[in-house]
Amino acid sequence: MKIYVLEKSIVFSGKAWEIKQKLQESQHHYRYVNEWITDVHQQAVAPQRKTI
């Protein structure tokens, strides 16, 4: 299964049961798809700290 998070949408590619299962899992974390998209983009932009 593959999940593509675009700027304004999410595209699922896989078997129907895999997509249904992933949507049920994400339902516990996000109420709306928009929240999921925003969270993914914020994680990608957030700088990571390195400890020396």
pLDDT level of residue 43 (50, 70, 90 thresholds): confident
Whether the per-residue pLDDT at 50 is higher than 70: the answer is no
Helix or strand holding residue 21 (H, E): helix 16-27
Whether the per-residue pLDDT at 28 is higher than 70: the answer is yes
The alpha carbons of the chain give a radius of gyration, in whole angstroms, of 13
Whether the per-residue pLDDT at 44 is higher than 80: the answer is no
pLDDT level of residue 47 (50, 70, 90 thresholds): low
Residue 12's pLDDT is 94
Classify residue 40 as exposed, middle or buried by CB count within 10 Å of its CB (0-12, 13-18, 19+). Answer: middle
Whether the per-residue pLDDT at 5 is higher than 80: the answer is yes
